Amino acid sequence: MILGLVLAFLMAAPSASKITVSDAWVMAPIGKQPMTAGFLTLHNSGADSALTGASCDAIKDLELHKMEESGGKMRMTMVERIALPSGEDVRLHPGGLHLMMIGFTRPIKEGDVLVVRLRFADGSTADVKMPVRKREA
Ligand SMILES: [Cu+2]
């Protein structure tokens, strides 16, 4: 009976707790430009997973993007998912993978903190606080 309860608890434990987030931040939008990007590092201490989406009440369209060189130019493309291999750190950073934020439902400025909901391959979610700040020189 008690063993059954313990097993039920263990099976219900969300696997998202195996994914931890650090260094989360959003680049302050430049001027009146209606877009910006967010960055963070994901560490997966569980089984292989993937980041499959993100949303935020302040952002109209939040997409997963990568930057890559094509014909000598850097260009951004949307990706369906960002793989999070077991035991590894995956870093979203300027010039690489990022959360593309297109269109704002309210003004976003330096010092704000956005709460972004990340969605993972197993259907679990995690809410991450992302401070808005200027890009370092
Ligand atoms: Cu982008």
Domain boundaries, the chain: 16-133
For residue 129, the model assigns a pLDDT of 98
**Beta-bridge partner residues of 51:** 82, 120
Right CATH number for 16-133 from 2.30.290.10, 3.40.50.300, 2.60.40.1890, 3.40.50.1970? 2.60.40.1890
For residue 66, the model assigns a pLDDT of 97
For residue 32, the model assigns a pLDDT of 85
Only one residue has tokens 């010039």, namely 95
CA of 8 to the centre of ligand 1 (A): 41
CA of 14 to the centre of ligand 1 (A): 30
For residue 135, the model assigns a pLDDT of 81
Nearest alpha carbon to residue 100 among 84, 77, 131, 73: 77
CA of 65 to the centre of ligand 1 (A): 5
Local mean pLDDT, 10-residue blocks, the chain (137 residues): 56 64 96 94 96 98 94 93 97 96 96 98 95 84
CA of 3 to the centre of ligand 1 (A): 49
Q: What is the pLDDT of residues 38-60, one digit of tens each?
A: 999 999 999 999 999 999 999 99
User: Is residue 46 packed enough to be buried (19+ CB in 10 Å), middle (13-18) or exposed (0-12)?
Assistant: middle
